[in-house]
């Protein structure tokens, strides 16, 4: 736990390093981001999808490079400048360099009247357009006259690119930790996701106890990245994925929110809810809705994968969301560390959960012979009363039809403690995996 707190500071430093990079779905800023993350995760596999490639129902977009973008007022001063904030230009804007009147300019401006000091985040990935985002205060101060607008960008054939870290486990089952890193200069949604994923990758890589499941930690642009990944690897996920989570909005100090998968009772859901129920984090659980982030793609009805999302304040529910107010001050080392700890506990639970079956199913095993029963019929002298209760419960419950998590729920006990007693019973050959 102290370790996770320390890691929280490293996570926040990484976010600080990534924050100023001019990122989008594609392009040099996005690639630079993957490289910096790779310094934490270790080598990533790269998956490339060329512009124009058909991925499921979608077409891979061109690659966008933005070099400069500004608006000069009639008096020649720059009133909007990409150098001041990455959010000032609408993502995927086509290049433009013109002089236009204020009225026409207004059609290309985006601001938030309800949050007059905030710059909104806007994109136009799949419809050719250009535009600027600015605070409503700034917008209202613009005087009549002729403005010069310049967006120095190009849209060329290139590639959408994903980075994947694979930590191999002993079995065939896979766990997906998915995050996206296409938003520029936004901290909670989204940099908290990639820095959390990177540090989970590092912890898994360095883990001493052997893993039962294979963990795939994937960094991608939102939506098109998930679509592209599913087009290439969706069948494998359908066969092997036992649980997945979309990592996002994990850095603010708000209460936790677990958003269930479309199935609602998948292992991913059962484990996350069990961990939250037995933890001390304030939290709420919400059902799947097909708005949000990449869980929409994983949970699309054809795939219907067991993918949920454990967040702090959920996207769309906090006022700073998708504005310049979602900056580095919104995320804290402590909150990042807590999120890391919660995901580590989820991973621990996924690793501990198995379906076991007793070796003596007809009548109770004779525990006395094995030194597992109090010798004179009074209170136990060999095992604590709680341990003995768990032992009896497991010997009765484990008929091979349900997993340890179901045992934990049925007995009102935390999975990790029950799993420790199960390990003890396995060492006495009284339980075995199905």
Of 242 and 372, which has the nearer Cβ to a copy of itself? Answer: 372
Burial profile 201-218: b = 16 or more Cβ within 10 angstroms, e = fewer: bbbbeeeeeebbbbbbbb
Output the CA–CA distances (angstroms, integers) from residue 183 to 9, 90, 361, in the order listed: 22, 12, 56
Minimum distance of a copy of itself from residue 322's CB (angstroms): 8
Q: What is the DSSP string of 81-101?
A: ETTT-GGGB-BTPPPEEEEEE
Part of the chain binding a copy of itself (CB under 8 A), chosen from 99-107, 171-179, 283-291, 310-318: 283-291
Backbone angles phi, psi at 113, to 5 degrees: -55, -30
132 binds a copy of itself, rule: CB under 8 A: no
CA 317/CA 322 separation, integer angstroms: 11
Minimum distance of a copy of itself from residue 382's CB (angstroms): 11
107 binds a copy of itself, rule: CB under 8 A: no
306 binds a copy of itself, rule: CB under 8 A: no
49 binds a copy of itself, rule: CB under 8 A: no
369 binds a copy of itself, rule: CB under 8 A: yes
278 binds a copy of itself, rule: CB under 8 A: no
**Tokens 């999808």 belong to which residue?**
49
Say if CB 61 and CB 125 are below 8 A apart: yes
Site string for a copy of itself, 136-165 (x = CB under 8 A): ------------------------------
Of 168 and 287, which has the nearer Cβ to a copy of itself? Answer: 287
300 binds a copy of itself, rule: CB under 8 A: yes
433 binds a copy of itself, rule: CB under 8 A: no
Of 93 and 192, which has the nearer Cβ to a copy of itself? Answer: 93
126 binds a copy of itself, rule: CB under 8 A: yes
What's the DSSP call for residue 17? H
Minimum distance of a copy of itself from residue 232's CB (angstroms): 12
Output the CA–CA distances (angstroms, integers) from residue 67 to 84, 121, 147, 318, 390, in the order listed: 13, 18, 20, 31, 63
CA angle 243, 14, 315 (to 5 degrees): 50
End-to-end CA distance of the chain: 34
Say if CB 23 and CB 204 are below 8 A apart: no
391-420: which residues touch a copy of itself (CB under 8 A)?
392-393, 395-399
CA 262/CA 304 separation, integer angstroms: 7
Q: How many CA atoms lie within 13 A of 346 on its CB side?
A: 28
Minimum distance of a copy of itself from residue 30's CB (angstroms): 17
113 binds a copy of itself, rule: CB under 8 A: no
Site string for a copy of itself, 207-246 (x = CB under 8 A): ----------------x--xx--xx--x------------
Among 168, 265, 364, 429, binds a copy of itself (CB under 8 A): 364
Part of the chain binding a copy of itself (CB under 8 A), chosen from 97-105, 245-253, 376-384, 413-421: 376-384
263 binds a copy of itself, rule: CB under 8 A: no
Minimum distance of a copy of itself from residue 263's CB (angstroms): 12
Of 39 and 366, which has the nearer Cβ to a copy of itself? Answer: 366
73 binds a copy of itself, rule: CB under 8 A: no
Among 375, 420, 423, 434, binds a copy of itself (CB under 8 A): 375
The count of other CB atoms within 10 Å of the CB of residue 314 is 22
Of 41 and 179, which has the nearer Cβ to a copy of itself? Answer: 179
Among 113, 209, 280, 362, binds a copy of itself (CB under 8 A): 362
Q: How many CA atoms lie within 13 A of 257 on its CB side?
A: 22
Contacts of 171 (CB under 8 A, 6+ apart): 212, 213, 214
- The SS3 call for residue 403 is coil
58 binds a copy of itself, rule: CB under 8 A: yes
90 binds a copy of itself, rule: CB under 8 A: yes
The count of other CB atoms within 10 Å of the CB of residue 43 is 8
Contacts of 272 (CB under 8 A, 6+ apart): 245, 258, 308, 310, 346
Minimum distance of a copy of itself from residue 4's CB (angstroms): 34
355 binds a copy of itself, rule: CB under 8 A: no
Say if CB 244 and CB 307 are below 8 A apart: yes
127 binds a copy of itself, rule: CB under 8 A: yes
**Tokens 């898994």 belong to which residue?**
204
> Which residues would be at the binding site for a copy of itself (CB under 8 A)?
55-59, 90-91, 110, 120-127, 129, 131, 223, 226-227, 230-231, 234, 262, 288-291, 296-297, 299-304, 322, 358, 360-366, 368-369, 373, 375-378, 389, 392-393, 395-399
């Amino acid at each position: 736990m102290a370790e996770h707190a320390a890691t929280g500071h490293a996570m926040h430093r990484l976010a600080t390093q990534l924050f100023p990079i001019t990122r989008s779905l594609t392009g040099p800023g996005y690639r630079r981001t993957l490289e910096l993350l790779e310094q934490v995760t270790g080598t990533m596999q790269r998956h490339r999808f060329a512009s124009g490639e058909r991925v499921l129902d979608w077409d891979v977009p061109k690659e966008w490079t933005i070099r400069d973008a500004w608006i000069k007022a009639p008096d020649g001063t720059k009133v909007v400048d990409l150098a001041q904030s990455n959010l000032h230009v609408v993502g995927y804007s086509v290049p433009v360099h013109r002089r236009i009147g204020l009225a026409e300019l207004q059609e290309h401006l985006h601001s938030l009247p309800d949050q007059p000091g905030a710059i909104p985040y806007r994109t136009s990935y799949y419809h050719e357009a250009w535009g600027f985002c600015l605070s409503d205060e700034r917008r209202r101060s613009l005087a009549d006259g002729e403005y010069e607008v310049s967006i120095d960008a190009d849209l060329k054939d290139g590639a959408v690119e994903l980075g994947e870290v694979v930590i191999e486990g002993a079995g065939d089952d896979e766990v997906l930790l998915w995050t996206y890193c296409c938003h520029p200069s936004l901290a909670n949604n989204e940099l908290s996701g990639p820095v959390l994923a990177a540090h989970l990758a590092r912890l898994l890589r360095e883990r001493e106890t052997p893993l039962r499941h294979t963990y795939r930690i994937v960094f991608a642009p939102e939506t098109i990245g998930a679509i592209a990944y599913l087009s290439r690897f969706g069948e494998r996920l359908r066969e092997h994925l036992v649980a997945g989570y979309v990592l996002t909005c994990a850095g603010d100090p708000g209460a936790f929110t677990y958003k269930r998968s479309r199935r609602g009772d998948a292992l991913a859901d059962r484990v996350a809810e069990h961990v939250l129920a037995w933890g001390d984090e304030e939290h709420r659980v919400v059902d799947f809705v097909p708005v949000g982030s990449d869980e929409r793609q994983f949970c699309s009805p054809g795939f219907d994968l067991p993918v949920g999302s454990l967040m702090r304040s959920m996207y769309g529910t906090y006022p700073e969301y998708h504005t310049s107010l979602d900056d580095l001050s919104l995320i804290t080392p402590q909150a990042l560390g807590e999120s890391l700890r919660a995901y580590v506990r989820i991973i621990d639970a996924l690793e501990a959960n198995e379906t076991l079956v007793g070796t003596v199913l007809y009548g109770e095993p004779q525990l006395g012979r094995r030194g597992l029963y109090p010798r004179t019929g009074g209170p136990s002298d060999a095992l604590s009363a709680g341990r003995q209760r768990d032992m009896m419960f497991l010997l009765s419950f484990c008929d091979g039809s349900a997993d340890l998590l179901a045992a934990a729920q049925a007995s009102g006990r935390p999975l990790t403690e029950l799993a420790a007693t199960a390990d003890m019973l396995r060492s006495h050959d009284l339980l075995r995996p199905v």
